[in-house]
Amino acid sequence: MLEAMFNAPVGDDVFGEDPSVNQLESIAAELFGMQAAIFCPSGTMTNQIAIKCHTQPGDEVICDKLSHVYQYEGGGIAFNSGSQVKLIDGNKGRITAEQVQENINSDADYKAKTSLVSLENTTNRGGGACYHFADIVAIKEVCFKNNLRFHLDGARLFNALIEKNETPKQYGEVFDSISICLSKGLGIPAGSLLLGKKDFIKRARRIRKVFGGGMRQAGYFAAAGVYALENNIQRLAEDHRHARQIGEALLEKPFITNMMPVETNILIFEVEAPYTPASFAEELAKHQVLVMPISATQVRMVTHLDITSDMVKRLAALIDQL
């Protein structure tokens, strides 16, 4: 990847003149069978640009209560788009067509206008859970019938595709916009893609500039993105295997409880006495294993391409000693 970055031809992407960025955007659009793509600095930015493009101030966005777009983007839906959210109490971050249908506002002039449904796949705070594709298609039908736009926060979509044996084109067919992070499991230093129709991406380009996300010689990152799309997708299965192995080792311990099903590369579980989430994280940090306490009771762990099978074996042995 570093070699690809060193050798990248670059130009000024604000003027659309960076050949490596243009290449990445067209490879990604082609991969998903969508018309166009735009490369941005972060997944937060691609989500926020999409929401801005799909809504007007005073609109309402339907999403799960655990959604990244609601929980971890600094109130961006309100700040950037002047829209509010209708939070759904889903199942590990996943919502259903029935829930979407029930939560569409009437067109009474005192109600916010429901204009967008935003899904997340895999779900971050839902422990890396994946949607069944049929459930996504059912939600799409509700969106279509009610003239709602349909956005996917696919920060870890490739983890879902690998685990469920699905294709990017299936997703490209149902969503109006898809955000993909290249900087998570795919391993590039920074950067995310937003995909959609040509006119949507044209508007997204304007909003990216307004948000301060227009980059000049971004091709060095884009070249890493091309490398990642060509080389780092299939290997995500290894991250999932590692996560399951770590999960098995953890479940041997009486102080580990309520582990969410380990579907992909995220583990979320509760830690009980004699540990707390913080003291458990501190103990592992002494051995260079970094994990994140995410609530008063829970810890989150993530596997990725820098975690080798040997490291996982050593971690299992370490957990055994605790």
Q: Is 68 in the site for ligand PLP (CB under 6 A)?
A: yes
Nearer to ligand PLP, 93 or 249 (CB): 93
Map the footprint of ligand PLP across residues 210-269, applying CB under 6 A. none
Q: Which of residues 111-130 bind ligand PLP (CB under 6 A)?
A: 120, 124
Q: Which helix (H) or strand (E) holds 190?
A: none
Instruction: Tell me whether residue 86 or residue 156 sits nearer to ligand PLP (CB atom).
Output: 156
Binding residues among 153-192 for ligand PLP as defined by CB under 6 A: 153, 155, 181, 183, 192
Instruction: Specify which residues 117 forms β-bridges with.
Output: 62, 150
Asked if 61 contacts 116 with a C-beta cutoff of 8 angstroms, the reply is: yes
Site stretch for ligand PLP (CB under 6 A), options 39-47, 54-62, 163-171, 311-319? 39-47
Least gap, CB of 4 to ligand PLP (angstroms): 20
Q: How far is the CB of 93 from ligand PLP (least distance, A)?
A: 9
* Residue 188 φ/ψ, nearest 5 degrees: -85, 160
Residue 85 near ligand PLP by CB under 6 A: no
CA angle (153 as vertex; 150, 155 as ends), nearest 5: 155
Q: What is the CA radius of gyration of the chain?
A: 20
Taking the C-alpha atoms of residue 82 and residue 287, their distance in angstroms, rounded to an integer, is: 45
Buried b / exposed e along 156-179 (16+ C-beta atoms within 10 A): bbbbbbbbbebebebbbebbbbbb
Query: Least separation, in Å, of the C-beta of 156 and ligand PLP?
Result: 6
DSSP string over 102-167: HTPPP--TTSPEEEEEEEESSBTTTTSB---HHHHHHHHHHHHHTT-EEEEEETTHHHHHHHHT--
> Which of 151, 319 has the CB closer to ligand PLP?
151
Angle at 52 between CA 177 and CA 123, to 5 degrees: 50
Cβ 125 to ligand PLP, closest distance in Å? 8
Region binding ligand PLP by CB under 6 A among candidate stretches 12-20, 43-51, 162-170, 256-264? 43-51
Residue 82 or 189 with smaller CB distance to ligand PLP: 189
Minimum CB–partner distance for residue 94 and ligand PLP (Å): 12
Told to check if 303 binds ligand PLP by CB under 6 A, we report: no
- Does 55 sit near ligand PLP (CB under 6 A)? no
Residue nearest to ligand PLP (CB): 43
* 3 state SS of 253: coil
Dist CA 193 CA 43 (whole Å): 8
Q: Which two tokens stand for residue 260?
A: 């969410």
43: contact with ligand PLP by CB under 6 A: yes
Least CB distance to ligand PLP at residue 72 (A): 7
Among 22, 23, 42, 297, binds ligand PLP (CB under 6 A): 42
How far is residue 53's CA from residue 269's CA, in Å, rounded to a whole number?
Answer: 36
Which residues in this chain contact ligand PLP in the complex, by CB under 6 A? 42-44, 47, 68, 120, 124, 153, 155, 181, 183, 192
